[in-house]
Amino acid sequence: MIADPAADPATPVLPPTGDTADRPGAFYGRRKGRPLRLGQGRVIDENLPALAVDLTKPAPVAIADLFGRSVSRVYMESGFGGGEHLLSMLETDADLGVIGAEPFVNGMAKLLMRVEEAGFGDRLRLHAADSVPLLDWLPDACLDRFYLLYPDPWPKTRHWKRRFVQLDTLDRIARVLKPGAEFRYASDWANYVDWTLEHVLAHPAFRWTATTSADWHRPWDGWHSTRYEQKALREGRTPAYFRFERL
């Protein structure tokens, strides 16, 4: 274990890593918060359909063909919140295509407002629901990187089966990552950090790249802070950052 249990309000004993949680690809939690502003409702209605991945159609053999222009790399971010990190990747890498999944309507609307202002729609595809069906739709070994940043920690023991990191979702992530590609994870919740590390280290498809403690105490190069991270820091929680290589 690397996390300090005293920093976490919920510190029950971890279950065995071989535990098979029942998570049938469902999103748990609210799908909508405050009422959307007029402009946000408009971009959901007008802009999302053009960027949405159609899971009723076969996935392209070359996932880069999903985009409106040529891209050399494709990343996916699961649960992108307000889209701060996702948009920063598009801004700093002109050859990158990004697939983003976010079931929370307000977060999707915030991203779409920013995309409308900044562009990048030809290098972005979106899924407004749980990531699991999208992962199942993607072809094998198609992604160069997968991000899971500040996922819902579901701190109560009876809700641990709702956590996104489970053995079955790690199987899915491993299937769609190219050999040598990375699964990048960040969280401010000590118990979920330990949970993720236990599960990923038990999975034969991944290797933890850290060599010193500083490797998970500081963000990776190019990190763009999110509103969730800023909230965690204000509330006194210390984030951890992990890079796992697909073998």
Encode pLDDT of 103-120 as tens digits. 999 999 999 999 999 989
Please compute the mean of the pLDDT values over residues 67-85 and round it to a whole number.
96
pTM score = 0.86
| Residue 210 predicted with pLDDT over 60 | yes
Encode pLDDT of 50-60 as tens digits. 999 999 999 99
Tell me if 37 is assigned to some domain.
no
Tell me if 33 is assigned to some domain.
no
Report the C-alpha dihedral over residues 107, 108, 109, 113, rounded to 10 degrees.
110
Domain range for residue 144?
73-246
Q: In terms of Cα–Cα distance, which of 184, 178, 206 is closest to 64?
A: 178
Tell me if 67 is assigned to some domain.
no
What's the order of all strands across the beta sheet hosting 124-127?
124-127, 96-101, 73-78, 143-149, 177-187, 240-246, 206-208
Tell me if 21 is assigned to some domain.
no
Which structure tokens are listed for 133? 């069906």
The rounded radius of gyration (Å) of the Cα atoms in the chain is 18
Which CATH number belongs to the domain containing residue 118 in this structure?
3.40.50.150
Cα 19 to chain centroid, rounded? 22
| Residue 84 predicted with pLDDT over 80 | yes
Tell me if 201 is assigned to some domain.
yes
Q: Which of 20-24, 169-173, 210-214, 228-232 has the lowest mean pLDDT?
A: 20-24
Tell me if 32 is assigned to some domain.
no
Please compute the mean of the pLDDT values over residues 117-144 and round it to a whole number.
96
Tell me if 118 is assigned to some domain.
yes
Tell me if 179 is assigned to some domain.
yes
Q: How many domains does the chain have?
A: 1
| Residue 150 predicted with pLDDT over 90 | yes
Report d(CA 97, CA 70) in Å as an integer: 9
| Banded pLDDT at 18 (limits 50, 70, 90) | very low
Q: In terms of Cα–Cα distance, which of 101, 73, 72 is closest to 86?
A: 101
Strand, coil or helix: 53: coil
C-alpha neighbours within 13 Å on the C-beta side of residue 195: 32
Q: What is the set of active-site residues? A: 152
Amino acid 6: pLDDT = 37
